[in-house]
Amino acid sequence: MGESETPGKLALVAWSDDLDKAWPVLILATTGVAAGMDVSIFFTFWGLRLLQRNDKRMTGKNWMQKMLSIFNRGGADNLKLHKLNFAGMGPWMMHKLAKEHGVASPQELLELAREAGVRLVPCQMTMDLMGISREDMIDGIEQPAGAMSAILEMQEAKATLFI
């Protein structure tokens, strides 16, 4: 990169709360911000669950939203594997391997991203759909936004990834 070039923007979309998808999103975000990039993550559908407080078990206003939250608990400490979940044994093994190899947990990466200035943007439509309120979510996130805001962010980015 030449002297006059700036690292630019990185726009990420987190649509999954699977451990093996959340980890790469957070690693790329923290790496991008460490490289001087302006980084944003738009959290939509199941990805929004990453921004949910770990201690918040049930969300929603009606029985359908509450059932969704019971069967799919939110929070970065409660992620399952997309494949090989083995009733919780898979995530346990991945966390153990990560610790042995010095890889930060998704919760640690989320905190690092927030502290380093990564913009964590929840999807307003998904919040409405799933009955998730601001009180259900971690501190330090941006105001909820819609798809158009995410698209405008992607248009300005040098790189956009949908994970």
For residue 102, being part of any structural domain is answered with: yes
For residue 82, being part of any structural domain is answered with: yes
- The 10s digit of each residue's pLDDT in 62-93 is 998 888 888 888 888 887 877 777 777 888 88
Q: Which residues of 91-124 are buried (b: 16+ CB within 10 A; e: fewer)?
A: beebbeebeeeeebbbbebbbbbbeeebbbbbbe
Residue 3, pLDDT above cutoff 70: no
Residue 127, pLDDT above cutoff 90: yes
For residue 61, being part of any structural domain is answered with: yes
Phi, psi of 57 (to 5 degrees): -80, -50
What's the mean pLDDT when you consider all of the chain? 90
For residue 50, being part of any structural domain is answered with: yes
- The 10s digit of each residue's pLDDT in 16-38 is 988 889 999 999 999 999 999 99
Q: What is the CATH number of the domain that holds 28?
A: 3.40.1260.10
Phi, psi of 2 (to 5 degrees): -70, 170
Give me the pLDDT at residue 4, please.
53
Residue-number span of the structural domain to which 83 is assigned? 9-158
CA–CA separation, 5 vs 8, rounded Å? 8
For residue 150, being part of any structural domain is answered with: yes
For residue 4, being part of any structural domain is answered with: no
For residue 13, being part of any structural domain is answered with: yes
For residue 3, being part of any structural domain is answered with: no
Average pLDDT on 134-147 reads 95
Q: What angle do CA 139, 137, 163 make, to 5 degrees?
A: 100
| Domains: count for the chain | 1
Say whether 42 sits in a helix, a strand or coil.
Answer: strand
